[in-house]
Each structure stands twice: as C-alpha cells, then as structure tokens.
Chain A
Amino acid sequence: MTTNDIKYNLYNRDNTPVAFSAATLEKIGMLIRRYPEGQQKSALLPVLHIAQEELGGYLTVDIMDYVASLLNLQPIEVYEVATFYTMFYLEKVGKYVIEVCRTGPCSIMGSDPIVEYLEETLRIRTGETTPDGLFTLKTVECLGACGYAPVMQVNNEFYERLTTERIDQILDDLRKNKDLDKSPGSRWVEKFY
C-alpha cells in the first residue's frame, strides 16, 4: 500500500480537517518502507508520534481513525496502542508539556520539592494545564537520566540537575518562545525522518 491511495477528507468533530501535509505523507511512506511488505503496522508508534506532533498536540479519535486508514488497520488496533503508551496524550495539553521524573533516584534527590515549586509557580495542580494553554504539568516514571537528578522533560527536551532557580529560568525562556510554532525540543521529526 502506498500513502497515495489514501483519500484524506477526514475531519475532527470541531470541523478542523485531519490530514498530514504532502511532505509528511512522504515521510510516512518512507517510514513504512523500513518494515517488510505487509508489516506496515510496525510504523504505528512512529506515525502516532508524528500525528501528535503535527495535528494539535494530542490524539483525538478522529486522528486515530485517520492513522488507522493510513496504515490499513482497524481503528481498535490504533486505540489499544494509543492508550497503552504514556507518551501519547488522549486529552488536550498545553503548548509545553512539563514532565517531572518522580521515580527512586530522582525522588531521593528532591523531585517532590520540584513538583511542588512548579505547582506553586504555575498555579496549577499536577495533571492540569494553565488557563493560557501554555503549560501542562505532569509527573512521569524514570526518564533514564538518574545521574543528573532531579530531571524533567519539556516536549522531549531534557532539563537536568534542577533547582528552583533553574526552573524560573527555564519557564522564562519558554514564555519568551511562546510565539514559535513549536518548542526547540520538538523538532525531531523534521530533523530525522
């Protein structure tokens, strides 16, 4: 199957169209060819990453249905995967998703005070998004950077050896970037596929 066979006239429930650009479809075609003929399902995780990145930051049912049609899958095959992996967001998130590691090594090095400080500064609870839609705060399990604890990721960019002063600086920098389309840390799709 090639992606040219796809008729992409799907719409989100709010009537925004759900479709990748021609350039992205080409990338996805290339991704599918990394796997043997008939195994295009293997491209599901990478394609969902791209979908989340390029179609509004989280996966709606319509987006998942669209991905299913692209990869010639049943929608349920996409839903069960999207709900299994923590990096796929099923609800609207802010432009910057702050994910603080809370597991063992980060915890003993002070991740709890970091989370509390972020809650105070952003005036939201963990799991919530600021009213201006700029920041979502989450806690996550081990990010594999234990020697540089405490650690957080913002849109997949690592920030390490956190202190409250560093947090102020990082939030400041991100606020200054708010007019950019995407955060610097989220440009991996363009760069590498």
Chain B
Amino acid sequence: MGRKILLKNIEIPGIRTFPVYRENGGYLSAGKALREMSPAQVVQEVTKSGLRGRGGAGFPTGLKWSLLDRKSDKPRYLICNADESEPGTFKDRYLMTHLPHRLIEGLIISSYALGVRTCYIYIRGEFKFLAGILEEAIREAYQNGFLGERILGTDFSLDIFVHPGAGAYICGEETALLESLEGKRGNPRIKPPFPAYKGLYGFPTVVNNVETLASVGPIIGMGGEEYARIGTGKSTGTKLISACGHIRKPGVYEIEMGLPVEDFIYMDEYCGGIRDSKGLKAVIPGGSSVPILPADLILQTAKGQKRLLTFESLAEGEFESGSMLGSGGFIVFDEDTCIVRNTWNLTRFYRHESCGQCSPCREGTGWMEKVLSRIEHGNGKLSDIDLLVSVAKNIEGNTICPLGDAAAWPVASAIRHFRQEFEEHIK
C-alpha cells in the first residue's frame, strides 16, 4: 500500500469541514509556514521537494514560482486552475469534493510564498456543486482566522474567490484561463510575455493546478527533502491517477511515483484488472491528449524495461514507443475496443473545443474529424490514413497553444500503433 499524502484522512467522516480537518492535523502546515518561515524559505522547500506541475505539463513548481516578477511593486496573483476538462481526468474534482481544506491550506501557504494577497480558484462551470463546497470551506477559513486580514496575527492578508467558467476545455490552458477570468472569450495568448510577468490584468501571475497546490501543505509539513524521497528520479512524491474505461474498479487512486503500470492495472488495491476478464488492448495514460499505447508498450518499454508511473518512464521511447504522464487521466481499453471509432470520437472533441484562433488547429481538427468519420462509416480510402498523418503533422507545433498538439497526438499515435485496424476499416 503506497503512502497517502494528498488523500490522507479522506476516510474520516466530516473531514470536509473545518473542525474535523483541523483536529486531524489540518492547517498545521499553514501555521508553520506563516509563523516560522520566510516566503523565500517556503519557495525553497517546494523547490527541494522536486514537485512538478500536476495539470499535465510537469513543469517544476519551485522554478515556476521563482520566475514570478517580484521586483516590481505591482499586485501579484495566484490562480488555482480547477478547470479540469481533459477527457479521462477527474482527480481534482475528487480531491476538492472530499478535502476542500487541503486545497485552501495549500493556497494560503502558496500565496504567502509568492507575496500574493488575492487568489482566484477558476473552476469549470459544470462543477457548480463544487463551487459551493469550496465557498463553504473558504467561509470556514475566514471564520477561523486563516483568511482575511492579518492571518494568525501576522502581517499576511489573503482573500480567495471562486470563479466559475462556462464550458470551454480551452480555458484549462493558462493564458486562455486568464482571458476568461477577465471576462473574455477563452483565446490563448501568445507567449512571451509569460504570466509570471504579464498575467491577470497584466500583472505578475502564477497559475497552478489544484493537485499541485494541494501538495504544498504536505510538503511544508514533512519538509521538501522528505517529500523528494518518495518516488524515483525527477518524479517525486505521490500522484493522483484517475482510472477509467474497461477496468473492474474505476476511480481516483493516490500512488507513489514509480509504481509499475502493470501493478496499477492488475492489483486489487488499484484498478483490479480488466472487467469481464477480457484482455488489455491499449491505454491512454495521461488524459486524452497524450499518445495511446498498445498493451505491450504500456506494460514494458521498447527496451524491455517495466513501464512505471513516472514522468520519465511513460515518456521513454518518446513518440515512437512512449507516451506521457500528463494529468494522470488513465483510460483503459479492452480487447473489444474499436480504436478507429475512439480516435474519431476524440477528434470530434478537439474540433468542438478548438477556440478557432489559429488556422492549423481550427481547420485541421475539422478535417481530421471528417476524414475519421468517413473511415469509421465505411467510406474511407487507403490514402486517407496518410492524409490524417499529414494533417496531424501540420497542426503540431504550429499553433499558439498546446491544444493543437493535443489534437494531433491521439491521431498520430493511433495510426502509428494500430495502422492495420485503420486499413481493415477501409478494405
């Protein structure tokens, strides 16, 4: 059984409320940070922990924080990205539903470290029920002196507000999120300038994922070095994996980084194997945007090593034979799954969610969907397969934001690993 850090105490009744969370060691890390540590020391601990962004990109959190423009005396903002919309991903929703105070505590410590006094939680509009849970947790934190003016008698003051989106996958991209938070369409911005210099309202801003920020409390509690002892290589600590698809036990699991993929799929304490005792066909390990891998390559790398749930191991073999840890949205397909149909489905998603700003993505996602639709419905030509590869290649790297890549990779990888199935559909 792996260590539980983020989901620790989740089984305790009432842990969602302030008093129960507090009785069980909650807000001790916030007290420690605000009373005993300088903001620079907090940043240092997070850097030492090796924590990497849990939203999908895996960027080192300590480094992101140290890039924030602190020289100017402009206001600074911390934005919690709770726009969880990557197909296959439902971990932040789970964390916030059951342990909202874990997130609020992380936001308090992180804001203190960054010199921020206003923090917004941008939550996807479909999670309105969660906005309520968070508002309630925030209200409790104000009542108990952990938010508002002069927190715990220190000079540090902080306000946290929940801000609902309204149905747009693209707003999970950090600059689109900022545009949306400013009351505009979610069109991603050209970078640079990066949000660390010009973010919300043009002021220095850090945008972090829910799980990333929720990890900050435990890191301060146990110390960065101790946290870094969990996991392997540059994948430290624990990670929430949301598992779905054709498995016996779909759900959210906290794993220590480095758990073998095979154990995760087949052990009873995790997914419990493929349902109805069927065979494993393929896995998308990090949310729908990352490359799909066939059973042999998800269990072992091309070099024959065990595939582990880490940033490095899942990427081993790059796009030829690897994938990515991404957001931890782990989608499992059994032997009866039609890869063509699933790829068409995902492409329809990206076509729907493309903001339309860049031509390669706006037009390319539409064409991929049309071509895949005709293959799926028996009207494809053999040349369509290379046409898809070509369209995907022309989207990749040619757009302002990563949605273009995210739309191209599922198609490119499905054809790379399951070309025969596409051909059979056409013949």
Bound pair (A, B): yes
User: Of all chain B residues, which has the CB nearest A161?
Assistant: B250
Is B127 touching A142 in the complex (CB atoms < 8 A)? no
- A157 on interface, CB distance cutoff 8 Å: yes
Which residues of chain B are near A148, meaning CB under 8 Å? 90, 250
- A157-B130 Cα distance, complex, nearest whole Å: 11
Is B87 touching A157 in the complex (CB atoms < 8 A)? no
Is A156 touching B128 in the complex (CB atoms < 8 A)? yes
**B-contact 0/1 string along A48-62, CB 8 Å cutoff:** 110000000000000
Take A141-B353, A188-B131 as given contacts and tell me if A107 and B164 are in contact as well, using a CB distance cutoff of 8 Å.
Answer: no
- B378 on interface, CB distance cutoff 8 Å: no
The distance from the CB of B60 to the nearest CB of chain A, in whole angstroms, is: 26
Take A49-B125, A87-B126, A108-B342 as given contacts and tell me if A144 and B84 are in contact as well, using a CB distance cutoff of 8 Å.
Answer: yes
- A153 on interface, CB distance cutoff 8 Å: yes
Take A107-B345, A108-B342, A192-B132 as given contacts and tell me if A81 and B87 are in contact as well, using a CB distance cutoff of 8 Å.
Answer: no
- Mark out the residues of chain B between 217 and 242 whose CB falls within 8 Å of any chain A CB in the assembled complex: 242
- B386 on interface, CB distance cutoff 8 Å: no
The distance from the CB of B423 to the nearest CB of chain A, in whole angstroms, is: 22
- A43-B163 Cα distance, complex, nearest whole Å: 9
The distance from the CB of B82 to the nearest CB of chain A, in whole angstroms, is: 10
Is A157 touching B246 in the complex (CB atoms < 8 A)? no
Which residues of chain A are near B284, meaning CB under 8 Å? 104
- B166 on interface, CB distance cutoff 8 Å: yes
Partner of B333, one of A39, A108, A140, A146: A108
Take A39-B182, A144-B124 as given contacts and tell me if A45 and B90 are in contact as well, using a CB distance cutoff of 8 Å.
Answer: no
Take A45-B164, A45-B165 as given contacts and tell me if A144 and B93 are in contact as well, using a CB distance cutoff of 8 Å.
Answer: yes
- A21 on interface, CB distance cutoff 8 Å: no
- A147 on interface, CB distance cutoff 8 Å: yes
- A141-B168 Cα distance, complex, nearest whole Å: 9
Inter-chain pairs besides A84-B185, A192-B131, A192-B132, 14 sampled, C-beta below 8 Å? A42-B181, A49-B125, A49-B166, A73-B183, A81-B184, A85-B166, A85-B168, A104-B288, A104-B345, A104-B349, A108-B333, A108-B342, A146-B89, A193-B135
- A108-B86 Cα distance, complex, nearest whole Å: 16
- A49-B321 Cα distance, complex, nearest whole Å: 45
User: Of all chain A residues, which has the CB nearest B355?
Assistant: A84
Is A104 touching B331 in the complex (CB atoms < 8 A)? yes
A-B pairs, top 9 by smallest CB distance, nearest first, are A85-B166, A44-B183, A41-B183, A87-B167, A86-B167, A147-B250, A146-B244, A84-B185, A87-B166
- A134 on interface, CB distance cutoff 8 Å: no
Is B87 touching A42 in the complex (CB atoms < 8 A)? no
- B394 on interface, CB distance cutoff 8 Å: no
Is B132 touching A81 in the complex (CB atoms < 8 A)? no
Is B87 touching A104 in the complex (CB atoms < 8 A)? yes
Take A41-B183, A49-B125 as given contacts and tell me if A105 and B166 are in contact as well, using a CB distance cutoff of 8 Å.
Answer: no
Partner of A144, one of B85, B128, B345: B85
Take A45-B180, A81-B184, A108-B245 as given contacts and tell me if A145 and B333 are in contact as well, using a CB distance cutoff of 8 Å.
Answer: no
User: Of all chain A residues, which has the CB nearest B86?
Assistant: A142
Is B165 touching A39 in the complex (CB atoms < 8 A)? no
User: Of all chain B residues, which has the CB nearest A151?
Assistant: B90
Which residues of chain B are near A109, meaning CB under 8 Å? 244-246
- A84-B353 Cα distance, complex, nearest whole Å: 10
- B266 on interface, CB distance cutoff 8 Å: no
Some 6 contacts from A to B, beta carbons below 8 A apart, are A34-B161, A41-B183, A104-B331, A109-B246, A140-B167, A141-B87
